[in-house]
Amino acid sequence: MSLLFKGRKSQNERAKKSLFAAGYFFVLNIFRQGVHSLGEMWRTPMASMMTIAVLGLSLTLPATLYLVVKNVQQVSSGFEEAAEISLFIKESMSEQETQTLVKRLALYPEIDNVSFISKQNALTEFKEVSGFGQALEYLDSNPLPDVVIVTPTSRHRQPNAAQALLKKLEAEREVDFGKLDIAWLERLNALLSLLKESVITIALLLLTSVTLIIGNTIRLSIMDKKEEIQVMKLVGATNTFIHAPFLWTGIWYGIVGGLFAFICVALMMWWLGSAVSEVAGVYQTSFNLIGLSITEFGALVLLATSLGFIGSYLSVNRYIKEIEPDKV
């Protein structure tokens, strides 16, 4: 009995080894075909580079528009964080009453920070900024009021919540009136939303064109090798064996096209960086363009690879099926 079970055990082990070997050689053959398809592309450099350039440039436009939205969001988020309400104090209020108001406002749950600017400090700052310092020396009295700057919490910086907080603060007896300029911010957010929708629409159109370009390129390659495919089917080649080189070609187009698009975007950001810094310097501020991160670069290449695989798969699944040895 022990010999019988020992024989069964050895048979199971051989079956497992043969199954492992079959899987190993299957994967190895797939990668060999991938290297072979890369060599085929290398042997036709002009046609391959033209296809890759078209794919890369098609991917460059949506990637650039994405960076435009990303940088505009950076600017708008900075403005939203700086959202403030200016409260102009009545002239009849003393400094002590104003300080009492500041302490009372600091207890509001809707307010994150409160600061006080006296009329004297406001006049001094206005002299430095406006350039009318000498002319202001002839004024008999200070025309500027005391101002309390209120910074709402992040929850109350939205337009509706900020308007409600402004009305509440204007009800304080020390406050003459308040100022909240958020109309421009609402317009900016609306334009940013429109820009996002435009980017999505353009990206979908261009990504569809990339898929069609790769599909058509693979179709031409299939038609060029029609006789070779017929011979392979005559000798019993499986569909997986026939499909793999064409699928790998689409994948290689996607990978190299994604790298090409990344290089184009990086060069464009480098070219525009100095111009943007110069414009920001005119407004006495600094701003650096944000490029693609490592994660976004990986997503771009992965997207291009996926499009290459989809385009090649559609052509392979459509046209190789129609090529049969008995059809000349």
Per-state percent for the chain, helix, strand, coil, to nearest 5 = 75, 5, 20
pLDDT at 1: 46
Q: Name which of 191, 80, 86, 216 is nearest 146 in CA terms.
A: 86
**Residue 3 has what DSSP assignment?**
H
Distances 192 to 26, 69, 206, 245 between C-alpha atoms, Å: 50, 7, 21, 44
In whole angstroms, how large is the CA radius of gyration of the chain?
A: 34
pLDDT at 49: 87
Q: Name which of 181, 171, 159 is nearest 104 in CA terms.
A: 171
Backbone angles phi, psi at 163, to 5 degrees: -65, -40
Q: Do 305 and 258 meet the contact criterion of CB atoms below 8 Å apart?
A: yes
Q: First-to-last CA distance in the chain?
A: 61
Helix (H) or strand (E) holding 147, with range, is strand 147-152
pLDDT tens, the chain, 328 aa long: 454 444 545 555 565 556 666 666 656 666 777 677 777 777 777 878 888 888 888 889 888 888 888 887 776 665 554 567 888 888 877 778 888 888 888 888 888 888 887 767 766 665 665 555 555 555 566 666 778 888 888 777 777 778 788 888 888 888 888 887 676 667 777 888 888 888 888 889 888 988 888 888 888 888 888 888 888 888 877 777 788 888 888 888 989 999 999 999 989 888 887 777 777 677 666 677 788 889 989 999 999 999 999 998 888 888 877 777 665 5
Q: Which residues contact 292 (CB under 8 A, 6 or more apart)?
A: 63, 67, 262, 265, 266, 300
Q: Do 98 and 148 meet the contact criterion of CB atoms below 8 Å apart?
A: yes
DSSP string, 218-241: HHHHHHHTHHHHHHHHHTT--HHH
Helix (H) or strand (E) holding 112, with range, is strand 111-117
d(CA 312, CA 242): 13
d(CA 281, CA 283): 5
The tokens for 203 are 């990206």
pLDDT at 260: 92
Q: Name which of 287, 323, 249 is nearest 51 in CA terms.
A: 249
Q: Do 111 and 161 meet the contact criterion of CB atoms below 8 Å apart?
A: no
DSSP string, 104-135: HHTT-TTEEEEEEE-HHHHHHHHHHHHS-HHH
